[in-house]
Amino acid sequence: MITLKALKKGSIFLFLTSLIFLFGFLNIWAVSYKFVWQNTTVTIPLGSSIEDYKSIPYARLYKNGEIMSDANVTYNTEGDWLYYFKDINPYKVGSYPVWYKAYDSKYCPGTCTGYKALINFDVKDLVLPEITIIDDIYLIQRGSEYNLKNNFYAYDNYELKDVLVNDTINKDKAGDYKVTVTAIDSSNNQRIKSFIARVYETTYPEILYDIPANTLEVGLNEEFDIKSLFTATDRVDGDITDKIVFDEFRNDRVEEYDFHIFVTNNANLTTTKTIHIIVADYEMPQIVLETKQIMLDYKTPIYSIDLRALVKEIIDNQEINYDNLEISHNMKNEIGSYMVTYSYSDGYHVVSEDLEVIFLSYDKPLISCGDIHIEKGQTIDILNYATVIDDSDPLILDSVEFLDSNVSYDKAGTYYADIYCMNSSGKSSTLRVKVVIDENNIFSNSNMGITIIFIVLIVIILLLSGFIIYYFVIKKFHNKKVA
């Protein structure tokens, strides 16, 4: 049976216990706890084990603003909330939120401030894409189509978003071109690699022309467009005539030389052709005279005639050298036609031209004659009566004419006739003379009288000669024979 004393002791114990409990409760109520979270965002490389990253987020317990270094914090990641740790897919890029709840078994703060936090686990692709180059030098036949993607492989550990190729290749022009390949994945990770694309050519361009035996003859100093003889073509570039390069062409002197033609295509392949050029002088010089004929007084001194001044010009396809002009002639100061020959040589051809020089007399012949007396029935040989003089023409007498159509030789009377002559220079003279026709009278004409006297004298001489011969020769011979 519980005694009063015992009841009294029990009441006192209960009261003290209640006081202690109340004091403890009030003391607990006055303490402030708080969890502060670290690493609430966690990056997980794609494909990693999620367990290796589970403990990265953590919380620290603070009591009345002071960190509890000896706290023993544990976590719950699989509560009955919306986001769970098990929902994280480490093989799929994305952001995965997970609710973390913190507990402390030592201080047992309960659901104090910050006891839970939303942790973000970001699964990221941190691996760059891969590019494998097949050939460091990728060959492209010039002018042909090509696909640079045939020379590399691009791949990614997760998802390849794009592959970029910088194509600056001129497929028609030989050379080395740098090709850069950029691979980009869905996380914008990039890897860049490069190789050389080499545009090559093995076919040389062609130079076309039609020159038999590769030998071309051209005229000295003639206008000649040698470029018009050649064209050039290329398998890829087509007509490349405008790219032909020529040696220096010359035809200013007679010679032979090799002439080279070059053409280079866009592959830097050069074709060379060589032709043999013969420069020949096909053009004959030409001597142009001021006139083809001149007339001069035959008394003109030959040395005073400037025959060179009668050359108007010399035409040739090269420079004229008047020292090569030669002049020859057979002139003399006599009436007649003479040839002056001009000869010129340009070193390859000799040409000549003739000039006729006619020497003339500008003086008329001189005729002198007195009156002519003859008997009726006689005729007149005018050269027996007239004197004709012309120093320029020794044959002037051959041109003398006696114009006696008005003279009646069978009728006595006084008449007038003309003596005419012309020299070889075409100068003529005319002289009118009196012609007297007398009746037949042996003494009427002085000429007839002279003739009769001459005949008488001849007869006398013949008679005397016969007598002398008879007397001195025949008679003496006869006497001698008789004796």
- State residue 464's pLDDT score: 85
| pLDDT one-digit tens code per residue, 272-306 | 999 999 999 988 999 999 999 999 999 999 999 99
* Rounded Cα distance, 159 and 21, in Å: 64
pLDDT at 293: 94
- Domains of the chain, each with CATH number or no CATH: 29-124 (2.60.40), 130-200 (2.60.40.10), 206-280 (2.60.40.10), 286-360 (2.60.40.10), 366-440 (2.60.40.10)
Q: How much is the pLDDT for 27?
A: 44
Q: What is the mean pLDDT of residues 299-315?
A: 93
pLDDT in tens, 151-182: 999 999 999 999 999 999 999 999 999 999 99
Q: Mean of the per-residue pLDDT values for the chain? A: 88
The yes-or-no verdict on residue 1 having pLDDT over 60 is no
Q: In the prediction, which pLDDT does 451 show? A: 64
pLDDT at 447: 55
Q: Does 11 have pLDDT greater than 80?
A: no
Using the predicted structure, report yes or no on whether residue 22 has a pLDDT greater than 60: no
Q: Angle at Cα 481 formed by Cα 479 and Cα 483, nearest 5°?
A: 70
SS3 for 439-461 is CCCCCCCHHHHHHHHHHHHHHHH
How confident is residue 475, by pLDDT bands cut at 50, 70 and 90? low
pLDDT of residue 26: 42
State the pLDDT at residue 474.
66
Percent of the chain's residues with pLDDT above 90: 74
Q: How confident is the model at residue 318 (pLDDT cuts 50, 70, 90)?
A: confident
Between CA 210 and CA 52 the distance in angstroms is: 85
Predicted pLDDT at 444: 46
**pLDDT score at 110:** 82
When mean pLDDT is compared across 361-375, 385-399, 431-445, the lowest value belongs to 431-445
Nearest to 433 by CA among 397, 474, 384: 384
pLDDT score recorded for residue 23: 41
pLDDT at 193 over 70: yes
What φ, ψ does residue 160 adopt, rounded to 5°?
Answer: -85, 120
Q: What percent of the chain has pLDDT over 70?
A: 89
Beta-carbon contacts of residue 340 (< 8 Å; ≥ 6 apart): 307, 327, 328, 329, 331, 354, 355, 356, 357
Supply the pLDDT for residue 459: 85
Residue among 323, 367, 372 at smallest CA distance from 344 = 323
Higher-confidence residue: 132 or 1? 132
Whether pTM > 0.95 for this model: the answer is: no
Confidence at residue 105, expressed as pLDDT on a 0 to 100 scale: 86
Cα–Cα distances in angstroms (integers) from residue 156 to residues 91, 292, 428, in the given order: 13, 104, 130
Q: Which residues of 299-337 are buried (b: 16+ CB within 10 A; e: fewer)?
A: eeeeeebebeebbeebebbbeeeeeebeeebebeeebee
Average pLDDT of the segment spanning 397-424: 94
pLDDT of 45 > 80? The answer is yes
Q: State the pLDDT at residue 481.
A: 56
User: Once rounded to an integer, what is the mean pLDDT over residues 471-479?
Assistant: 64
pLDDT band at residue 467 using 50, 70 and 90 as cut-offs:
confident
